[in-house]
Amino acid sequence: MKYRQHPRYPNQIILKEMSYWYISLWENQYYLGRASIELRDTSKRHLSELSRNEVLELFYIIKQYENALKKSFNTTNFNWTCLMNNSYKEENKNNPEPLHLHVWPRYKEKVSFMNDVFEDEIFGHHYDKNKKKYVKREFLINLADTILSNWKE
């Protein structure tokens, strides 16, 4: 399948696009399935500003993504964050980020994918955003294909 490139982060690919949101896979896959869900409406900065339909679609995507990862890789847990801290940095004042959520899939057991082993060395504790395992676009495409093969509409 052909995947679009993320508009601001060229090394990420867009996994799925919906009416209000899209989900993209990050090039740092230390936490296999690491992704973010972004709101298309760039005027909103807080979850409290979301419409009912935006909230419903967001939770639909979260449910579908979690279920697809559990089916694909037996994911144990999911850490979700909505920080928005970069939007308030001086260098971003004229180009704030859209409202988005990060997902950090967590694994109690090692996971093998594409001849590589993924081990969550600190499972059961807060994720470590400094852990790095950068992958190539080909890896992300195979990861996306695997996830979408288990995404049930």
What's the confidence (pLDDT) of residue 153?
Answer: 80
2 within some domain: no
Q: Give CA angle at 104 (5, 12), nearest 5°.
A: 10
Task: Return all residues near 18 (Cβ < 8 A) that are at least 6 apart.
Answer: 57, 60, 61
Across residues 85-106, what is the average pLDDT?
83
Return the percentage of the chain with pLDDT > 90, whole number: 81
Counting beta carbons within 10 angstroms of the beta carbon of residue 23, is it exposed (0 to 12), middle (13 to 18) or buried (19 or more)? Answer: buried
What's the confidence (pLDDT) of residue 150?
Answer: 97
90 within some domain: yes
Supply the CATH number for residue 124's domain.
3.30.428.10
Check whether 90 has a pLDDT greater than 90: no
- Return mean pLDDT, the chain: 94
Check whether 138 has a pLDDT greater than 80: yes
More confident: 148 or 82? 148
Q: Please check whether residue 72 is in contact with residue 89, taking contact to mean a CB–CB distance below 8 angstroms.
A: no
Domains: count for the chain: 1
5 within some domain: no
Range of the domain at 41: 13-149
Question: Six-digit token pair at 80?
Answer: 């979700």
